[in-house]
Structure 1
Amino acid sequence: MIAHLRALPVPDPYHLLEAPGLRWGLIGPGRIATDFTTALHRFTRQRIVRVASREPTRAEAFIRRLGIDAAAGTVDQLLDDPGVDVVYIATPHAQHRDTALRVISAGKPVLVEKPFATDAAGGHAIADAAAAAGVFAMEAMWQAFLPRTEAIRRLVADGVLGELRFVEAAFGERFDRQAVPRLWDPAAGGGALLDIGVYPIAFALAWLGPATSTTARGSITADGIDERVQLLLEHGGRAISSLATSIDTALQNRAAISGEHAFIVLDDEFYAPGGFELRTRDEAARWEDPTPLRGRDGLAYQAGAVALAIAEGRTETSEHPPSAAIAALEVVDEARAQLIRRARG
């Protein structure tokens, strides 16, 4: 079985990076947009050609800081520009749904930074609008498009792990409340679950399928901000997952997938490029990422996946369709409801 890993063909790590180049519009020139744009321009054929912000001066400053050849302006100007092929939304969480609906209404494909929306209803609204318009839409769940993820998919498809039965995943950071106030702002869609908890949730659902039962425990503030959350999900049959997330406590940020024959332990930062170890009771073997991309360089893969899908006339990706984003938001909705009920006694 371990020999199977050593003989496993390395997934072509560059096919997404070499996807046909598109002209991207960017709405919301903040930190994640900076990382996305940097990865895009360094590793792919994609290019940001227009940047929009409520304050055009922020868009202008973004363009100068990154040294890209792009125009600055308002959202309306971006949506009216026939030179924009696809739009990336990197606004605060609470603005994702309405901004995505505007983009779709303008007939442009859209990549929405996670979370897709602040609740499942918002996710459905985006997905339904995109389907009705025949427009591509996707949540920017970059972990779904990494070379490591594709390698694990092949192992699972080949039956190396056997029936998948258990997933563990955690993502927690100790954020400075003064430096990142939006995480504690209900109006901005704050809280651990929406900001980083969607990563372990999406990870579990990707391998085990939709949650059929959700149990949540954790700490929630008086104004409804979930700071620390532990989740136990059932996924039908005999599969379960144990997940954790936090915005006030650093966690190990690792993940593991266990099957009846073997299990996989992903390196730290399971949501970013990296390797993993395949283990059985008696053996272990390593898989290493063959590319130089590390950390947020990995944002480039999802951009390539979007470009490839659009070039092929698809309105979603098989790796992370809108239904996957909605399924994760359904878990978030249920977890938050449980935490609020327990807090109220």
Structure 2
Amino acid sequence: MSKKTSERPVFPFTSIVGQEEMKLSLILNVIDPKIGGVMIMGDRGTGKSTIVRALVDLLPPIDVVENDQYNSDPYDPELMSDEVLEKLNKNEKLPIVQIKTPMIDLPLGATEDRVCGTIDIEKAISEGKKAFEPGLLAQANRGILYVDEVNLLDDHLVDVLLDSAASGWNTVEREGISICHPARFILVGSGNPEEGELRPQLLDRFGMHAQIKTVKDPSSRVKIVQQRELFERNPKDFKQKYQDEQDKLMEKIKNARKNLKNITIKYELLEKISQICSDLNVDGLRGDMVTSRAAKALVAFENRNEVTSKDIFTIITLCLRHRLRKDPLEQIDSGFKVQESFKRVFNYE
């Protein structure tokens, strides 16, 4: 069976109705992975995993070193495994192939060894070699790591994932043997708030937080059901119908990635972002940095050069709502508090 026919059909991203918060958060993280990933909280059956898979299908293929278990970048030493770096230093030719941007699903019952990889101590001692079996973090390098029900995952494991996502490296140490390899990925976590929230310390480490709700409008619900039925009846024709829109969006993302370094943001806007974070008692400086990065990514996506206050208004709730200290007696939504503070500081109607 050819690779094309054996691949499972993926629902087109541009055909998804609603859930704009989630779609925007994912696109901005793909443009600038340094934003720090997305936490998606919402009701069951709202298409969280469908949207993430649809996004991966949009991304351009990446160049990797052939037969390398870490998806090493053949042009960037920072994104190479030790083995590839060694070959490069010896001036050996690196065989290059193109692969789809990887998307790795983290199973709920995954162990730390399965996630981080394992060192074969016996082999290391008997043969004097670093015998390492790479885990899911190696497979996710330069791609997306998707964790469904992240709020049910062991806190220690969430910590490991967030550390790797932030540093871009995974280190495994056993019995005095240490292995380190690149693990640069966009971490996307999803969960249902009814099953418990993440600890605030962990939640704060996600760059953005999208809330998705079940669509209430009957006509939109009917459209979603019809779209799904059409796709299941004939996935190929359904995808073909949206191919032009998919290609345009893919091109926009590619251009935005290239233009990101040229985007400017005025000092007074940065000052106002920091004032909002200060007014809302946001701990640390992560909120300030993520808001600035997300605003720049939005401007790059819209093919402009400079951040405006409107851009900041568009993304600031997604960047700050999960960083506010929660008062259990308070009924007001944290997103509303962020918007109120923005309007006050920016004198924005």
Bucket of the pairwise TM-score, normalised by the shorter protein = under 0.3
Higher Cα radius of gyration: 2
Larger proportion of strand: 1
Structure 2 length-normalised TM? 0.23
Larger proportion of helix: 2
